[in-house]
Structure 1
Amino acid sequence: MISLRRIYIVVAAVLLIIILALAAFTTWYTVDESEQAVILTFGDAKEGTSEPGLHFKLPWPIQQVEKLSKETFSLQFGYQQEKGEVKEFPKETKMITGDENIVLADLVVQWKITEPTKYLYNSADPKEILYDTTSASLRSIIGSSKIDDALTSGKAEIEADVRDLLSTLIKKYDIGISILAVKLQDVELPNDEVRKAFTNVTDARETMNTKINEAKKYENKRLNEAEGEKKAIILNAEGDKAERIEKARGDVAVFDKIYEGYQTNPDITKERLVLETLEQVLPNTEVYIMNDDGNTMKYFPIRPLEPKAEEETKKGSESNG
């Protein structure tokens, strides 16, 4: 018959083996490069590590390890894509714009766990909080935007505003995650008739913008031409001004010379001025110098003598040559 002492010894040995096994298998743990760990000491999370490799801790149940991924997660709002199939949720994506139009908007939020302890214990379901906060942020920004901006060129600004608002709310809720990016997938009108009407309006607006651009282009062309003509007129006027100034200066110089001659020989200068004036006023008139002594009028023919003087001058130059 087995004694009670032997039973105690066997039980103690079994317990010792169990304790040693627990110590052997629960005093160490490994962290992958894509993981981060939180150490719980009697259920109290105070320690964490994100360093990859082998780590040691106190055996269970004194300390436990919770591992979370460091990778980037994607939250799909308004639709769900699995195995190449897309399932839409139009009730969630239907919202009203600031100018009281209805649009369907869905997006993707990229986020990651940055504070694993808060992610695990500051909320019961942080993913649900993130989803609801995304819905509230998107509806708030769409509700203050115009439909034209939401459907056309304002998407980038809407994405930035949603990201800022979502990041602010998530930081306020303090659930240990960070928002990396927000990307609108589709923003569209609720039915085909509304889409067609909006397309017609958009086409008309584009035509209007095209006409305005063409008019501005023509306006700029005409302004450039007018500017060129103005500059040409100014340059011509400045050239004519300079020419007249130089001519006036020449006339002044001639007058000064005549005046100097007049001061020296007033009578001769007067006679020369009279003759030059007659030549200008009557260019084809024969001019004679006449002397009347009271009895016989004598004159000295200048014109017939001019050709003879020119011939004699020419002959003299040829003989000298």
Structure 2
Amino acid sequence: MGTKRILVTLGLVITGLLLLLIVFTTWYTVDESEQAVVISFGQAGEPVVESGLHFKLPWPIQRAEILSKETYSIHFGYKQDKSGEIVDKETKMITGDEYIVLTDLTVQWRIVDPKKYIFNAEEPIEILRDAASASIRSVIGSSTIDAALTDGKAEIEAKTRDLLTNLVESYDIGIAVQGVKLQDVELPNAEVRAAFTAVTDARETKNTKINEAKKYENQKTKEAIGERDAIKSEAQGKKTARIEQARGDVAVFSDLYTEYAKSKAITRERLILETLEQVLPKANLYIMNDSGETMKYLPIQQLPQAPPVETKESEQQAEKGEKAS
């Protein structure tokens, strides 16, 4: 009688537990930022992306794996201790010109296929980390130290993103790379960093001097071009003036020739006199006629007039005028 009661009680307890298991394992909820996969005896169904309450068969027949749809980040980089020394040796890599550098890389990724993420790899995140390490090492290994430390970071970042994306797609683990950010590339110790900083400063100074020289060259070139254009303009003006003057001289000569053709002797004498006046503007001109030993000449310029001669009659008339006044 006691054994039977114990068995009944045990049966009721087991039945209650089974009912509780059925109640609590036949439903699940999916948030807006989540996605789920229902697994039936090891076989995954289609992903469930609708948010809300969902039902399934009780465990162990079916179970629900809920995964996030948000973007995750993996940081692959070095760290510094309190003294400023770098302690992470994972990120040491060699450039194409055989220099050691340290990289600081961040990879952003998300789950795009829950079935592949769960079943195609045991540790998909570790696979992604290894793929990121291989990608950045490959790109750094084909780059120079100058490019890695200065203006080549953007190109290194883009090549790393493309290479990592292709690797993850080939692994087919349900992960998509959203972005790759190359935070920094550093040298392994303070002395090397100081030396490279000095080289970088010298390069910047060189570029500054080159830019200043080009600026001075452009300024002088513009000034020379302006001076050249001014000389050309002045020469063109003189050319035009000479041409117009020549045309005027030709017109005057044509008129003189017409007059010369009418009366050659008179025109010839007039031209001679005008030419002498232009050549010798202050000279006294005379027309001379030498007919023997005595030379006779006739001055052309006006002779000075002699003062008037006063007579007695004029004196008397002057006195009469004074008395009358």
TM-score, reference length from structure 1: 0.80
Residue 248 in structure 1 maps to residue 246 in structure 2 = yes
- Deviation digits for residues 109-149 of structure 1 (CA, Å, limit 9, x no counterpart): 11111111111111111011011111101111111111112
Total equivalences in the alignment: 297
Cα distance in 2 for partners of 1:230, 1:174 equals: 70
- Following superposition, the deviation at residue 87 of structure 1 comes to 11
Cα distance in 2 for partners of 1:19, 1:271 equals: 150
Residue 103 in structure 1 maps to residue 101 in structure 2 = yes
Alpha-carbon distance change, 267 to 51 in structure 1, aligned in 2, over 3 angstroms: farther
Cα distance in 2 for partners of 1:74, 1:225 equals: 58
Alpha-carbon distance change, 260 to 27 in structure 1, aligned in 2, over 3 angstroms: farther
Q: Which residue of 1 aligns with 2:77?
A: 78
Q: Which moved more, 1:120-129 or 1:175-184?
A: 175-184
- Following superposition, the deviation at residue 107 of structure 1 comes to 1.4
Cα distance in 2 for partners of 1:188, 1:266 equals: 103
Cα distance in 2 for partners of 1:87, 1:196 equals: 14
Cα distance in 1 for partners of 2:127, 2:3 equals: 62
Instruction: Give 3-state SS (helix, strand or coil) of 2:47's partner.
Output: strand
Q: Which residue of 2 aligns with 1:132?
A: 130
8 Å Cα contact 2:35-2:50 kept in structure 1: yes
Alpha-carbon distance change, 144 to 3 in structure 1, aligned in 2, over 3 angstroms: closer
Q: Which runs of 5+ in 1 are unaligned?
A: 306-321
8 Å Cα contact 2:78-2:103 kept in structure 1: no
8 Å Cα contact 1:23-1:60 kept in structure 2: yes
Cα distance in 1 for partners of 2:128, 2:86 equals: 19
Q: Which residue of 2 aligns with 1:272?
A: 270
- Following superposition, the deviation at residue 17 of structure 1 comes to 5.9
- Following superposition, the deviation at residue 271 of structure 1 comes to 2.6
Alpha-carbon distance change, 266 to 20 in structure 1, aligned in 2, over 3 angstroms: farther
Mapping 1:190-229, distance limit 5 Å: 190-229=188-227
Equivalent pairs: percent with the same residue?
64
Amino acid at match of 1:74: S
Q: Which moved more, 1:30-39 or 1:260-269?
A: 260-269
Match of 1:147 among 126, 131, 145: 145
Q: Which residue of 2 aligns with 1:51?
A: 50
- Deviation digits for residues 239-276 of structure 1 (CA, Å, limit 9, x no counterpart): 11111111112112212222232334333332322222
Q: Which residue of 1 aligns with 2:35?
A: 36
Cα distance in 2 for partners of 1:271, 1:92 equals: 114
Q: Which residue of 1 aligns with 2:185?
A: 187
8 Å Cα contact 2:86-2:188 kept in structure 1: no
8 Å Cα contact 2:78-2:89 kept in structure 1: no
Q: Which residue of 1 aligns with 2:320?
A: none
Q: Which moved more, 1:243-252 or 1:179-188?
A: 179-188
Q: Which residue of 2 aligns with 1:116?
A: 114
Q: Which runs of 5+ in 2 are unaligned?
A: 304-325
Cα distance in 2 for partners of 1:67, 1:87 equals: 42
* Cα RMSD, aligned residues only: 3.4
- Deviation digits for residues 19-38 of structure 1 (CA, Å, limit 9, x no counterpart): 65555433332111221111
Cα distance in 1 for partners of 2:79, 2:38 equals: 34
Cα distance in 1 for partners of 2:295, 2:204 equals: 99
Cα distance in 1 for partners of 2:261, 2:171 equals: 109
TM-score, reference length from structure 2: 0.79
